[in-house]
Structures are given as structure tokens and as C-alpha cells.
Chains A and B, each alone.
Chain A
Amino acid sequence: MDKGSEAQKYVWEGAIPLQIHLHESEVTTLPPPPPALVLAPRIGYLPLLVPQIKPFFSSTLPPGTDTVWFEYKGLPLKWYIPTGVLFDLLCADPERPWNLTVHFRGYPANILTPCEGEDSVKWSFINSLKEAAYIINGNCKNVMNMSQSDQVELWRSVVNVNLESYLWVSSKLKLGIAGDEFSVKSNASVIKSQQSNVETDNTGSVKTGRIPVRLYLYNVNEDFDDLEDAPQIDSWDRISYINRPVEIIGEGKYFTLLDAVKSLLPEFFAEQSSTITNEEISETEVGEEQRLPSEDGSSTPRTAEDVGETSCEHVGSSDVSDNAEIKLLRIQGIEPKPEIPFSWVVNNLMNPERFLHICVYIRIPESISI
């Protein structure tokens, strides 16, 4: 039975310490209630924490019906984005504990999709899983035809952060991605499997190299050296959300994370110069890359200085057209090197709904014309 890779385990065990404050407008008692401290799984969703935090605040809430929502520095948080992704995106310089504000009243329905508790989160998850299945298999029959008990078990495995149970139920969905065998075979075979990105599985359906990816792009105008100086995201309108599959194309060389990002943001790589992809990377180096995320997958991401080394130097100045510069490329709390094989990234760092969520900060000077 598949017990998951080491990196997958790190991802599933990953959690963000939250310090949750009740919004002052909802405090009816003196002294105000102390903040609630909870550990939020990376792969989880904020509304799933409500049963845990409600007891901290229930005695002080004004009368009314609960419509719970969270906010970070004035920005209402989208509950259907996994908690780890929100943290990676909104806290360039990771804040621990992460200070969030909870509201039990006054839902901002014009900004956020309504959330009726766990059920809404579950259906949003299933819809995403269906979308991923469609991208991978060209239909979502396997998800649609899931038995009720499997569906419940799958969802419970996410809520309870149970990787083993998740791997067992989700294996029935047959959502293998071309290049899957990467994690167990040698580097040489990877190149082969990448080349044949359209292959036929034993049921006769065509398996493509389409990978479900959601990319969140923050366009930063001001330059900054340290991530702690990165400007705060004050509106969702500052984020471009790119929900577009990546086609793995093998052309005799393996397909890297950078290739994937390039395919999603072609406009920034139009005038691509030669550096990374053409750089000869020896097999041993690849082997090192392969281990890298599992070492870093723990809950201690790199410091800002490290990030500068990985993302800025490698992707930044050299490959992006004109003066646009990738300041941050973060997946599951780490900044993987751009030349890492994309199939490794997908298979190890994807979320349970089978999407790989990538957070990118890009700086484009105001006057630029592409």
C-alpha cells in the first residue's frame, strides 16, 4: 500500500500556528476575550477550524446568527483557498503565530462566496477534485461515480489530515499523472516517461500530460530586498489568479518547474535569455534537487536571505523579460529551485484536491511596456 513519499508526509504534517482575535466590533464583554491559539493544517481550510475556536468567543458574541469569516490586516480571506496557500501568499515573510481576525457577524457577501460551514467547504473541495480529474482524464466520471462511503472517507481524510487513508481512497480515482513513476525510478527513466506524455492506460483511455495548477500572481510595483519589506496585499484585485493546466512537454530534456511557470506566464518570458534551462545540470545535481523539498518541507521555511538566493538569482534578473523580476516563487511553504523536475513538484507538493498551488511575487517597474 502506498504510504506516500517523505515530502508528501511533510506537506500533510505541515501546520501554521494561528493566533485568532475576535473582531472588536463583536466583543460585548469586558475584559475582551483572549485570542485563540490553534494549529491550522496547511492542506485544510479556515472554516474547518470554527468548531475549535467558537468556544473561545461564544460567550462574548452579540446576538445573531453565525456567518463566520476571517480577515488578515483588513483583507477578507477566501475560505476555499487552502490555509497553507493563504499563508504563503499573504505572508511573504512568514509571521508566527499568524495573527488573524475572526468575524461571526456581517459576512462580506459582495467579496466572498458564501460559506455555510463544513458542507460548503466539502463541495468546493469535491468540485475542485472534479475539475482536476477532468484536466487529467478528460472527464470527471471517476469522481462523479464515487460511492457515497468513499466520498465521505475521502473528505474525512482531508478534515482529519490522514494521509494514509487519503492515499487509499484517492487511488480509486485513477488520477495518476504522467511521469508519476519519477519518485521511484532513476532519473534516466524520468526523461523517458516525460517524453511519452500521452500514454494509454489499461482501460484504454488516453492519459495526457495536463497538470492541474492554480497560480496566484502578485504584481509588486515597489522593489524590495528582504521579504519582510514586501508590500502587504491589501486587496484581492492585486492578485492575478491563473487557473490553467500546465501541459508537460518533453523535448528530450526533462520539464522543469521553471518551464511550467513560463508556460503559465508567457508574457514575462517572451524575450527569454539562455541561462537556466540551457544550463547543463548533471544527474547528480538533479538527485540533490530531488531531496531538497523533503528536507525543507518541515515547518521551518527558509529565511528571506535564502529566498533571495534561490528565486531571485536563478529566475529573477536573467530569465524574465525586460525588467520584470520574480521575487518569490513559493509552494507549500518552500521556495523550490526553478530547475527542479516539475513532475516531482506536482506529485509531492500538490494539495489533496489534486491541484498544485503556486504563489508568485513578480515585480514589474511601472513604466514597463511589454
Chain B
Amino acid sequence: MNWDGTLSSSEFRIAALAFIEKWNRFISTSPPQWSWALSPKRPWIAAHEAEGYLLLENVFLPGSSEEDHDQVNDRGKQEPSCSGQDDTIDSTILVQSHHDEMHRYDFHIVYSMSYKVPVLYFRGYCSDGQPLVLNDIEKDLPGNSAKLLMESKWTFITQEEHPYLNRPWYTLHPCGTSEWMKLLISTDASRDKHQVEFENYLVSWLSVVGQVVGLRIPFEMLKDSGSCS
């Protein structure tokens, strides 16, 4: 039977734990690191271990400058699954020295029971803790996603309530995710081995979604996952 590009919530958990392990293996030198957060929503059900999400917080993304724009344009031309190919040192970009224009971002990957796929939620703030509005965030985004944002303000990045935290966060709309995940993973030789797929699911997924928000995955990690073959 053809796989439809979706995950169950327990598969998401498996994928998430595998992703954390892999990320920490390739980017072991410094924070930030992904971790698994338990849902704070229903504290009285400690036993319900499947409910949780991935988080990566306090990430510095460079504000827009001439130099960044050049990088951004290069990146935009690459194939989605192979981003970061020629700048493998990009992992170090995640942590940068403090800078006037530096914005900090929090990224959460939450499983959607409706779409049966992971959904990226994020928020940004200035060094003084002030939250960033969409206009500020747009300036931090890679050039091509800012363009998409202009063209389709509502279907692309929207502000929605974080499903666990009850506060408005930015999110990328997930309605197309299963479609492109199917395409992305069906080129993979390991298509029938579902276990392998789910463990690599989030690497492949973030290789696409991360591009939109300027969050890059180390090339070695992609290669290891077989998404770039």
C-alpha cells in the first residue's frame, strides 16, 4: 500500500527521539539542542507519554544584511532536500556572537492530530525580550520565503494559538505537508522499511521547512539520513 506521507502520534514520537539523537550527534559542540517537552496541558496525566513536542530555543538568526541576502539567494536555488550542501559549516550559524540586529527565535515542532504531520511553530524576540511582529520576522527570513509571504500572506505563515502553550505563535500551514513528504521520501530506497522512514522523517521534513525560516540542517545529517541520495 502506498504510504500517504503522514505519521501517527506514536510514530512522531519515535521520529522525534531519533531526530534528537541524530542532531546531538552531529551538532554536539554547542547549544542550542533539540529536546522533547512533555505536554504541559494535562498535568494530571503523567502517564500519557506520547503527548509532547520538540523544542529548540534561544536560536540566534542573523538579521538581514547585504551579505546575508547573497547567501539567501544561493540557498534558494538549491534542491529542497539538499540545502546547505556547499556551506556545511552552517551549523555554526545557529549560534552567533551578539549583534545589534540579532534576534532570538524559539522553534517548536508539534504533532497535528488533524493533519497527522509535524507542524512548525516559532516566535522571535529582540535582545530586550520584546516579541517580534511579522514584519520584523519577514526581514530575518531567507529572500525567497519573504517573497512567498508577500504573495500569500494568509496561507503561508499565520499566527495561531500554540496548541500546548495557549499563546499566539507563528506557524507554517501544514495542509500540503503530507503531499510533499510523500514525494520527498518516495525517492528514498528505504521506502518499504517504515521504521527507517519514521526515524528519518523529521530530518527530511526540517530540510524543507527549515529553509523557510532560515534554520539549516548540517549536510552530514542529511546524508546520513539518505534524504540526499
Q: Does A245 contact B (CB under 8 A)?
A: yes
Inter-chain contact A267/B45, CB cutoff 8 Å: yes
B42 touches A131 (CB 8 A): no
Name the A residues within 8 Å of B45 (CB-CB): 267, 370
**Contact indicator per residue, chain A 74-92, by CB within 8 Å of chain B (1) or not (0):** 0000101000000000000
How far in angstroms is the closest Cβ of chain A from B112? Answer: 8
Q: Does A171 contact B (CB under 8 A)?
A: no
Taking CB atoms and an 8 Å cut-off, the chain B residues in 90-115 that contact chain A are 113-115
Tell me, rounded to whole Å, the shortest Cβ–Cβ distance linking A165 to chain B: 24
In the complex, B31 has a CB within 8 A of chain A: no
| Contact among A123, A217, A240, A370 for B154, CB-based, below 8 A | A123
With A114-B168, A267-B42, A267-B48 already in contact, the answer to whether A140 and B113 are too (CB < 8 A) is: no
Known: A114-B159, A127-B173. A243 touches B113 (CB 8 A): yes
Query: Across the interface, which residues of A come within 8 angstroms of B168, CB to CB?
Result: 109-114
> A residues within 8 A CB of B160?
113
Q: What is the CA–CA distance of A236 and B44 in the complex, to the nearest angstrom?
A: 17
Residues in B whose Cβ lies below 8 Å from that of A212: 114
Q: Mark B25-41, 1 if CB is under 8 A from A, else 0.
A: 00000000000000001
The answer to whether residues A138 and B4 also contact, given A112-B168, A113-B168, A243-B113 and a CB cut-off of 8 A, is: yes
Q: Does B65 contact A (CB under 8 A)?
A: no
A253 at interface, CB cutoff 8 A: no
> In the bound complex, how far is the Cα of B176 from the Cα of A139, in angstroms?
8
**A113 and B161 within 8 A (CB):** yes
| Contacting pair A130 B175 (CB below 8 A) | yes
Inter-subunit contact B158/A236 (CB<8 Å) = no
User: In which size bucket is the chain A interface?
Assistant: 20 to 34
Complexed CA–CA distance, A47 and B33 (Å): 40
CA distance A244 to B131 in the complex (A): 29
- If A131-B114, A364-B44, A370-B45 touch, whether A241 touches B175 (CB-CB below 8 Å) is no
- Asked if A134 contacts B163 (CB within 8 A), the reply is no
**Complex-state Cα separation, A78 to B167, whole angstroms:** 11
Cβ-based interface call for A334 (8 A) = no
B131 cross-chain contacts in A, Cβ below 8 A: 109-110
Which of B47, B114, B115, B154 gathers most chain A CB within 10 Å? B114
- Cβ–Cβ contact B114 & A241, under 8 A: no
A131-B115 in contact (CB<8A): yes
Q: Which residues of B contact A134 (CB under 8 A)?
A: 114-115, 175
User: For the complex, what is the distance from the CA of A7 to the CA of B169, rounded to whole Å?
Assistant: 37
- Distance in Å: Cβ of A226 to nearest Cβ of chain B: 25
- A residues less than 8 Å from B167 (CB atoms): 110-111
CB-CB contacts below 8 Å: A73-130 with B: 78, 80, 109-114, 123, 127, 130
B168-205 CB contact bits vs A (8 Å, 1 = yes)? Answer: 10000101000100000000000000000000000000
Could you tell me the distance between the alpha carbons of A138 and B160 in the complex, rounded to whole angstroms?
22
Taking a contact as CB atoms under 8 Å apart, the answer to whether A240 and B161 are in contact is no
A368 is an interface residue with CB less than 8 A from chain B: yes
Q: When the two chains form their complex, are residues B113 and A236 in contact, meaning their CB atoms are under 8 A apart?
A: no
| Distance, CA A212 to CA B4, complexed state (A) | 20
What residues of A have a CB within 8 angstroms of the CB of B4 in the complex? 138
- Tell me the minimal C-beta distance from B39 to chain A in angstroms: 9
B42-60 interface code vs A (CB 8 A; 1 in, 0 out) = 1011011000000000000
Q: Are B115 and A370 in contact (CB under 8 A)?
A: no
Question: Which of A131, A236, A368 sits near B166, CB closer than 8 Å?
Answer: A236
Residue of A nearest to B160 (CB): A113
Inter-subunit contact B163/A245 (CB<8 Å): no
CB distance from A151 to the nearest CB of B (A): 12
A370 CA to B48 CA in the complex, in Å?
A: 10
Whether, in the assembled complex, A135 has its beta carbon less than 8 Å from a beta carbon of chain B, the answer is yes
Q: Given known contacts A138-B4, A364-B44, is B175 in contact with A237 (CB within 8 Å)?
A: no
Residues of A within 8 A of B47 (CB): 267, 370
Please name all residues of chain A whose beta carbon is closer than 8 Å to the beta carbon of B113 when the two chains form the complex: 243-245
Closest chain-A Cβ to B190's Cβ sits at a distance in Å of 24
The answer on a CB contact under 8 Å between B41 and A135 is no
In the complex, chain A residues whose CB is within 8 Å of the CB of B115 = 131, 134
Which chain A residues (211-241) contact chain B, with CB distance < 8 Å? 212, 217, 219, 236-237, 239-241
- With A110-B167, A134-B114 given, can you name 4 additional A-B contacts, CB distance below 8 Å? A80-B161, A111-B167, A127-B154, A267-B44
The 8 closest A-B pairs by CB, nearest first: A244-B113, A113-B168, A267-B45, A123-B154, A131-B114, A140-B175, A236-B166, A240-B41
A-B contact pairs, 21 of them (CB 8 A): A109-B168, A110-B167, A113-B160, A127-B158, A130-B175, A131-B114, A131-B115, A134-B115, A134-B175, A217-B42, A219-B44, A236-B166, A237-B166, A239-B166, A241-B166, A245-B114, A267-B45, A368-B44, A370-B44, A370-B45, A370-B47
Binding site for A on B (CB under 8 A): 4, 41-42, 44-45, 47-48, 113-115, 131, 154, 158-161, 163, 166-168, 173, 175, 179
A interface, CB within 8 angstroms of B: 78, 80, 109-114, 123, 127, 130-131, 134-135, 138-140, 144, 212, 217, 219, 236-237, 239-241, 243-245, 267, 364, 368, 370
